């Protein structure tokens, strides 16, 4: 049986050659990188954002810009380090001009995320932003419970997976805290509920 690292490498190689994606051409033209994910392959908590931004595409690392600093601050607030969790996005290539990912792009890249979840087998999936929340809620049979991210944020949803029970916690995207101090307070509050769910 292949190790988790080997399985993740296979995913990376497939994404590197993903010519069917409309974002592949942009990646090659702009000489940037896909963003596969980062962190522990045995993480109990998996954070899933929407798509990489400019800094992420330049470095190949998720959440490495201003919103990444907010995420690090929030992780520190519940005594977690980046290396203890796994951080990724649904869409692995940067959408043009930082626009929202399209339904087609989510459909193309979603199966790679599904495989990453199966490899890591997290006990908690924390979604960052509405696209991520909607994708994961639908993926795990909770489509009938989808509301606006403002109403879902911080709530606990339990569901079954092929490897056992998983808790899903929709969160605001860290980027909102850059523009709204109230949102930063909301995020801190929601991370406290996330922290309470960590199995020590």
Query: Is the pLDDT at 14 greater than 80, yes or no?
Result: yes
pLDDT single digits (tens) 68-90: 999 999 999 999 999 999 999 99
pLDDT single digits (tens) 96-140: 887 889 999 999 999 999 999 999 999 999 999 999 999 999 999
- Which CATH number fits the domain that encloses residue 156? 3.40.470.10
Enter the pTM of the model: 0.94
Query: Is the pLDDT at 183 greater than 90, yes or no?
Result: no
**Does residue 27 lie within any of the structural domains?**
yes
Query: Is the pLDDT at 199 greater than 60, yes or no?
Result: no
The number of folded domains in the chain is 1
Q: How high is the pLDDT of residue 195?
A: 82
Query: Is the pLDDT at 25 greater than 50, yes or no?
Result: yes
**Does residue 200 lie within any of the structural domains?**
no
Q: How high is the pLDDT of residue 41?
A: 97
Query: Is the pLDDT at 149 greater than 60, yes or no?
Result: yes
- If pLDDT is split at 50, 70 and 90, which confidence band does 67 have? confident
Read off the tokens for 112: 């790679």
Q: How high is the pLDDT of residue 114?
A: 97
- If pLDDT is split at 50, 70 and 90, which confidence band does 167 have? very high
State the Cα torsion 105-176-130-114 to the nearest 10°.
60
**Does residue 187 lie within any of the structural domains?**
yes
End-to-end Cα spacing for the chain = 29
Q: How high is the pLDDT of residue 198?
A: 67
The Cα–Cα gap between 32 and 164 comes to 37
- pLDDT above 70: percentage of residues in the chain: 98
DSSP string, 95-158: PGGGPPPPHHHHHHHHHHHHHHHHHH--SEEEEESHHHHHHHHHHTT-GGG---HHHHTT--EE
- pLDDT above 90: percentage of residues in the chain: 78
**Does residue 146 lie within any of the structural domains?**
yes
**Does residue 115 lie within any of the structural domains?**
yes
The Cα–Cα gap between 38 and 30 comes to 22
Burial class (CB in 10 A: 0-12, 13-18, 19+), 29: exposed
The Cα–Cα gap between 126 and 123 comes to 10
**Does residue 99 lie within any of the structural domains?**
yes
Of 86, 110, 109, give the one whose Cα is nearest residue 15.
109
Q: Find the domain containing 53 and state its range.
A: 4-195
Chain-wide mean pLDDT for the chain? 92
**Does residue 182 lie within any of the structural domains?**
yes
Q: How high is the pLDDT of residue 186?
A: 85
**Does residue 34 lie within any of the structural domains?**
yes
């Amino acid at each position: 049986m292949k190790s988790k690292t080997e399985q993740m490498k296979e995913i990376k190689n497939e994404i590197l050659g993903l010519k069917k994606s409309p974002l592949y051409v942009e990646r090659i033209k702009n000489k940037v990188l896909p963003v596969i994910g980062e962190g522990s392959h045995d993480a109990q908590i998996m954070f899933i954002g929407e798509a990489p931004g400019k800094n992420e595409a330049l470095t190949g690392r998720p959440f490495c810009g201003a919103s990444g600093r907010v995420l690090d601050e929030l992780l520190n607030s519940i005594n977690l380090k980046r290396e203890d969790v796994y951080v990724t996005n649904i869409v692995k290539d940067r959408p043009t001009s930082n626009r929202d990912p399209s339904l087609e792009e989510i459909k193309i890249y979603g199966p790679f995320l599904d495989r990453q979840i199966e490899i890591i087998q997290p006990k908690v999936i924390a979604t960052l932003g509405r696209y991520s929340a909607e994708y994961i809620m639908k993926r795990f049979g909770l489509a009938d419970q989808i509301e606006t991210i403002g109403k879902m944020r911080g709530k606990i949803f339990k569901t079954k997976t092929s490897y056992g029970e998983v808790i899903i916690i929709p969160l605001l995207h860290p980027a909102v805290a850059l523009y709204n101090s109230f949102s930063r307070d909301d995020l801190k509050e929601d991370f406290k509920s996330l922290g309470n769910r960590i199995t020590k």
